[in-house]
């Protein structure tokens, strides 16, 4: 797909076309991700139209990164073996021109993952996505949040996200009540979603996988990140209409991702 760089990332028709492209091409997404949320990440990718592969073993990760259409690197539970696989996969993805997404979970507060994130961020990620505290810490502007939980709002990270995007060349997507996405010049806010997203472990991890799927098929990385965020948050809104509690909401989120149509994106997206 060639959604040109000049495509308007706030045009719902462009975002809908991105979803159509994911479902048409079924991108293969390698996920080196949080072991707590592997199942949700894989199922979210399947529901949205991608094909997940949880290949995170050293000596295999790099080989698979050259095969995959996109790669997710999530630092949520980065043990020694997985850290080795991440470095290997990122090097291979960069060499092969495979777009990869960095999710710097809990950086700033924890030294091992913070050092790893600092190393990986120099390896040309296509998109960096995280909460406001993680993005501020990765940009060197704060000490991080409370583990994986943010203590900042997305707007608090505006300066950090813009700085990080300009210094790395990556699009930076910040999750919050209103999500913020920037390529260092253009800034887009996505105003859909549900507070129940904060009550389900792995919603952000799932968004990382979905973002890698969109980056695999959409040339404009800002469009890819905005479209992925819009799709997940619209599915969350759909689920929240009938779910009273987090358990049913989590199941409904997968149903919502599967049921969401390009026309729903055209009609319901709230981007500015």
The response to whether 175 counts as a known ligand-binding position is yes
Q: Is 54 annotated as a binding residue?
A: yes
Q: What is the 3-state secondary structure (H, E, C) of 202-262?
A: CHHHHHHHHHHHHHHHCCCHHHHHHHHHHHHHHHHHHHHCCCCCHHHHHHHHHHHHHHCCH
Contact (CB, 8 A) for 100 and 85: no
The answer to whether 129 is annotated as binding is yes
Pairing relationship of beta strands 51-53 and 100-103 according to DSSP bridges? unpaired
Considering only CA atoms, which of 5, 7, 33, 16 is closest in space to residue 214? 16
Residues annotated within the binding site are 54, 129, 175, 202
Query: Binding site for substrate: residue ranges?
Result: 54, 202
Binding-site members for ATP are: 129, 175
């Amino acid at each position: 797909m060639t959604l040109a760089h000049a495509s308007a990332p706030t045009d719902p028709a462009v975002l809908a076309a991105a979803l159509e492209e994911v479902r048409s091409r079924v991108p293969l997404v390698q996920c080196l991700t949080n072991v707590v949320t592997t199942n949700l990440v894989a199922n979210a990718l399947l529901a949205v139209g991608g094909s997940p592969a949880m290949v995170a073993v050293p000596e295999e990760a790099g080989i698979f990164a050259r095969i995959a259409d996109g790669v997710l690197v999530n630092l949520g539970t980065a043990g020694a073996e997985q850290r080795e696989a991440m470095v290997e996969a990122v090097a291979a993805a960069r060499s092969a021109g495979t777009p990869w997404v960095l999710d710097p979970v809990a950086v700033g507060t924890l030294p091992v993952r913070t050092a790893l994130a600092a190393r990986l961020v120099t390896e040309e990620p296509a998109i960096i996505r995280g909460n406001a505290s993680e993005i501020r810490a990765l940009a060197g502007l704060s000490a991080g949040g409370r583990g994986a939980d943010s203590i900042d709002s997305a707007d608090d990270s505006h300066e950090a996200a813009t700085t990080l995007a300009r210094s790395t060349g990556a699009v930076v997507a910040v999750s919050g009540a209103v999500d913020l996405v920037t390529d260092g010049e253009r800034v887009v806010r996505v105003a859909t979603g549900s507070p129940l997203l904060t009550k389900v472990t792995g919603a952000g991890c799932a968004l990382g996988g979905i973002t890698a799927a969109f980056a695999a098929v959409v040339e404009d990385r800002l469009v890819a990140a905005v479209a992925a965020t819009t799709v997940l948050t619209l599915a969350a809104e759909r689920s929240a209409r009938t779910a009273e509690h987090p358990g049913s909401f989590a199941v409904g989120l997968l149903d919502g991702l599967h049921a969401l149509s390009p026309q729903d994106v055209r009609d319901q997206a709230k981007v500015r």
